[in-house]
Amino acid sequence: MSLNFSLNKSVTYLSLLFVGATASLLGTQLLPTNAVLVQQQVAQLPSALPGNTDSNFIAAAVERTGPAVVRIDSSRTMRNRSARPGGRVVQGTGSGFIIQSDGLILTNAHVVNRADTVTVTLRDGRNFTGKVLGQDQLTDVAVVKIQANNLPAVNLGNSEQLRPGEWAIAIGNPLGLDNTVTAGIISATGRSSSDVGVPDKRIGFIQTDAAINPGNSGGPLLNQQGQVIGMNTAIIGGAQGLGFAIPINRAQQIANQLIAEGRVTHPYLGVQMTTLTPDLRETLSRDSNGRVQVQPNQGVVIVGVAQNSPAARAGLRTGDVIQQINGQAVKTAADVQQAVENSRIGVSLPLQVSRNGSNLTVSISPAEFPTS
């Protein structure tokens, strides 16, 4: 069944056939370098936190972590489509941070994507040629290695323990201004990829109002102790105080796989879905001329199924409402995405769905997310 839905909210995708980030959300490394700097209103910071003897906890955090923050310059040659030799060189600048003293660095995948050369510059001015050990486009995480020892390294925090309202400190190289420090708060946690406008990503983002600008991509987001709790990755163009970071627990998980295997595999169902709302129930019925009738009041409704996907082979249909995955109730599209991400490729995954008023159990075997 093929329907033309006019949905008001963004939908979450688990299929490359439905990939498409909104143009207003750009990786911060990719925005124009001549962007206008806008002064932001920042709440006055306290001279000291209760129980903190340091007169400036932000400065103390930066002193602990700043030496491990690096600038990453990448370049690649855009080949001519004609027979003439040569091509146009595209250059980009981002940030990164050293996670091990032997030269392992975390950054965003879009900072080094398809780069011919990668140059890493430390805060003390030393330059190194970087080698990309692996990158994962679905989470925008990459690992770069430089040949050096006894380097300063960051301390990693626990992004699972973050609460909105906590302090957030960003360090990076925005607009060519190396070692820039900005501060704000954690505005929210668990922002889904569809909330942010990048439905092709598999991340629950940290939202922060700490100023993030082009060149901050891949740099660390710190807590008040100077521990890394996120990796800055994106902003919403035209807005102020809307920056997003990858939780460090997730980034570290992906990095470990990239270091060990050079790649990351993601389970894939092949459905386009969105969280069920009363308005969406009406839209589904109206746009299908009554052929799709959704009975439940909550759950995750399938609004598209990719051809030849695991979902298609399992018999899932447009209008099915996912109620449970592997015996656990799901209420939002983010719940389904997380459950699928936690599943295993090729291992049967039971889904309980509601279809036109009847409850069905469907067994589906996730495949590896297509890479092309």
**Which residues form the catalytic set?**
110, 140, 217
- Sign of dihedral through CA atoms 170, 176, 179, 183? negative
Q: Helix, strand or coil for residue 122?
A: coil
Residue owning tokens 């855009």 = 78
CA distance 61 to 58: 5
**b/e per residue, 199-234, with b = 16+ CB within 10 A?**
bbbbbbbbbbbbbbbbbbbbbbbbbbbbbbbbbbbb
CA distance 291 to 272: 18
Q: Which two tokens stand for residue 20?
A: 């498409």
Q: Which two tokens stand for residue 97?
A: 């941070």
CA distance 93 to 100: 22
Q: Which residues contact 185 (CB under 8 A, 6 or more apart)?
A: 164, 165, 166, 167, 168, 208, 209, 210
Q: Do residues 321 and 300 touch, judged by C-beta distance below 8 A?
A: yes
- Answer left, alpha or beta for residue 170, where phi above 0 means left and psi between -120 and 50 means alpha: beta
Residue owning tokens 């996670």 = 99
